[in-house]
């Protein structure tokens, strides 16, 4: 499962973006966090996600989960 770092996130709209380790930008949509424990995302936070591509080629994150280090 790919991982990335939150680049920006608007709590009021649920929209944002993250950067994968190879600097690929991926959109975060309100549906990206549905069904997860995520209530808010912070700049610089690490997440893993399922990567999808829309018809126009935009990369979108789905099934976001916060990466924890133990």
| Extents of the domains making up the chain | 3-66
Distances (CA, A) of 4 to 21, 58: 6, 16
CATH topology of domain 3-66: OB fold (Dihydrolipoamide Acetyltransferase, E2P) (2.40.50)
pLDDT, residue 38, reads: 81
Where is pLDDT greater, at 68 or 21?
A: 21
Where is pLDDT greater, at 38 or 2?
A: 2
pLDDT tens, residue by residue, 13-55: 999 999 999 999 999 999 888 877 787 899 999 999 999 999 9
The upper half-sphere exposure of residue 65, i.e. CA atoms within 13 Å in the direction of its Cβ, equals: 10
Distances (CA, A) of 21 to 6, 12, 34: 11, 27, 24
pLDDT, residue 35, reads: 75
pLDDT exceeds cutoff 70 at 70:
no
């Amino acid at each position: 499962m790919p991982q990335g770092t939150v680049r920006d996130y608007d709590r009021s709209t649920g929209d944002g973006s993250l950067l994968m380790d190879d600097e690929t930008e991926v959109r975060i949509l309100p549906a990206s966090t549905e069904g997860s424990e995520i209530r808010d995302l912070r700049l610089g936070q690490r997440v893993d996600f399922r990567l999808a591509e829309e018809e126009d080629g935009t990369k979108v994150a789905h099934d976001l989960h916060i990466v924890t280090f133990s």
